[in-house]
Amino acid sequence: MSANQAPFPAARFRRTRASASLRNLVRETEISVNDLIWPIFVRDGEGVEEPVASMPGVIRRSVDKIVEAAREAHSLGIPAICLFPYTDPSLKTELCEEAWNPDNLSNRAIRAIKDAVPELAVMTDIALDPYNANGHDGIVRDGVIVNDETVEALVKMALAQAEAGADILGPSDMMDGRIGAMRSALEAEGHVNVTIMSYAAKFASAYYGPFRDAVGASGALKGDKKTYQIDPANRAEALRCVERDLTEGADMVMVKPGQPYLDMVREVKDRFGAPTYAYQVSGEYAMIEAAAQNGWIDGEKVMLESLMCFRRAGCDGVLTYFAPRVAKLLNG
Ligand code: PBG
């Protein structure tokens, strides 16, 4: 206890909790629509809105419907959406060439959104898993996920997304050296204001399960991602990865998953002071939704509380599938 802390009864913490007005006055953290990034899934077709079974309330949309969602996000005040493509299995190859096709699903969606709602920031995912016959984030040779060749592919992917008009590139692949390689390629090609939000502290987590269904990668994935994603037990290694990505030219950094890793968020924010984000991932979302659907928790309250906790831990923003629902509540 600090020296200026009065003892009971001079100090009664319940005084400032006694009314809503007092609670509002002393509240230390706010969550606002400005803190939200909405991850959305895009698929082929027209007029398609297809529910994702493992993520109740989340849908895959065709590009025209993505544009509608983007308009909605913008009108709700959400600053950014993040695109994840559900790629037709016939386009998945060993070398993942579809990843840097300027007209792939994700790049078409970026263009359509930037045409319709230029003010809305569009974030992308950079990793090969949606395009990979092996389901991995990197190119697989003789059972090994090869680093340097993957980085070359990721750079091509990043440039194609920047050309399409992406505002924030989100490398989620965890290959070594990718941030530096992307940053120099972006500078060389004149994309000096394209930002990079590095998935810097991305752990090898079982919480990604429902997402892999959503993008159709679970079937293809052979083995696990432990040779590139960080061991959930490793705090110091995660901090070193964040520092490395910042020195290579990341503008913003992310911790992922979110809620079980908020200790990492606090440490990253305190130590580096960079814009810091966390991803409330598919498994976290599915757990809250499942419990809410069973009537075991109040889903709305837990959603808001969970997001407040991200902010309290030091997040400048949160990637969350709840984004439009939270925005509607916050906008009253
Ligand atoms: C792809 C990627 C994943 C997620 C975001 N980008 C899955 C993975 O690494 O297997 C997970 C998002 C979520 O679970 O909501 N590299």
Task: Concatenate the DSSP letters of all residues of 182-215 into one string.
Answer: HHHHHHHTT-TT-EEEEEEEEB--GGGHHHHHHT
**Minimal-distance CA residue to ligand 1 atom 2:** 172
CA of 12 to the centre of ligand 1 (A): 46
Candidate from 48-52, 184-188, 213-217, 252-256 with smallest mean pLDDT:
213-217
Cis before 257 (ω within 30): yes
Question: Does residue 216 or residue 120 have the better pLDDT?
Answer: 120
- Indicate if the pLDDT at residue 106 is higher than 90: yes
Q: How confident is the model at residue 214 (pLDDT cuts 50, 70, 90)?
A: confident
Q: Does 269 fall in a domain?
A: yes
Q: Does 23 fall in a domain?
A: no
DSSP string, 243-312: HHHHHHT-SEEEEES-GGGHHHHHHHHHHH-S-EEEEE-HHHHHHHHHHHHTTSS-HHHHHHHHHHHHHH
Q: Does 176 fall in a domain?
A: yes
pLDDT score at 34: 98
Alpha carbons 166 and 160: distance in angstroms, whole number = 9
Q: What is the arithmetic mean of pLDDT over 14-20?
A: 98
- Indicate if the pLDDT at residue 53 is higher than 70: yes
* Cβ-based neighbours of 28, under 8 Å, separated by 6 or more: 312
Annotated catalytic residues are 202, 256
- Indicate if the pLDDT at residue 16 is higher than 70: yes
Of all atoms in ligand 1, which is nearest to the CA of residue 202?
9
Tell me which residue has tokens 């803190």: 35
* Cβ-based neighbours of 73, under 8 Å, separated by 6 or more: 38, 81, 117, 120, 323, 324, 327
Q: Does 8 fall in a domain?
A: no
| Exposed / middle / buried, residue 297 (Cβ in 10 Å: 0-12, 13-18, 19+) | middle
**Is 212 touching ligand 1 by the criterion CB < 6 Å?**
yes
Q: How confident is the model at residue 218 (pLDDT cuts 50, 70, 90)?
A: confident
Of all atoms in ligand 1, which is nearest to the CA of residue 172?
16
Q: How many CB atoms are located within 10 Å of the residue 288 CB?
A: 21
Of all atoms in ligand 1, which is nearest to the CA of residue 285?
15
Tell me which residue has tokens 């808001």: 304
- Indicate if the pLDDT at residue 1 is higher than 70: no
Q: How confident is the model at residue 247 (pLDDT cuts 50, 70, 90)?
A: very high
What does the longest C-alpha to C-alpha distance in the chain come to? 71
Q: Does 1 fall in a domain?
A: no
The DSSP secondary-structure symbol of 7 reads P
**Minimal-distance CA residue to ligand 1 atom 11:** 208
**Is 139 touching ligand 1 by the criterion CB < 6 Å?**
no
**Is 284 touching ligand 1 by the criterion CB < 6 Å?**
no
Q: Does 65 fall in a domain?
A: yes
Structural domain of residue 90, as residue ranges? 31-331
Of all atoms in ligand 1, which is nearest to the CA of residue 221?
10
Q: What is the arithmetic mean of pLDDT over 34-50?
A: 97
**Is 303 touching ligand 1 by the criterion CB < 6 Å?**
no
Q: In degrees rounded to 5, what are phi and psi of residue 56?
A: -55, 130
Q: What is the arithmetic mean of pLDDT over 194-215?
A: 95
Q: Does 58 fall in a domain?
A: yes
**Is 129 touching ligand 1 by the criterion CB < 6 Å?**
yes
The CA dihedral of 145, 146, 152, 155, to the nearest 10 degrees, is: 30
| Exposed / middle / buried, residue 95 (Cβ in 10 Å: 0-12, 13-18, 19+) | middle
C-alpha pair distances (Å), 289 with each of 208, 235, 261, 297, 302: 15, 29, 20, 9, 10
The DSSP secondary-structure symbol of 52 reads -
CA of 281 to the centre of ligand 1 (A): 8
Pairing mode of beta strands 317-320, 276-280: parallel
Q: How confident is the model at residue 161 (pLDDT cuts 50, 70, 90)?
A: very high
Domain of 205, CATH number, reads 3.20.20.70
pLDDT score at 212: 86
pLDDT score at 84: 97
Q: What is the arithmetic mean of pLDDT over 62-68?
A: 98
* Cβ-based neighbours of 189, under 8 Å, separated by 6 or more: 159, 162
Alpha carbons 251 and 10: distance in angstroms, whole number = 47
Q: How confident is the model at residue 277 (pLDDT cuts 50, 70, 90)?
A: very high
**Is 124 touching ligand 1 by the criterion CB < 6 Å?**
no
Percent of the chain exceeding pLDDT 90 equals: 95
Q: Does 133 fall in a domain?
A: yes
Helices (H) and strands (E) in the chain, counts: 11, 12
Please give the tally of structural domains in the chain: 1
CA of 32 to the centre of ligand 1 (A): 25
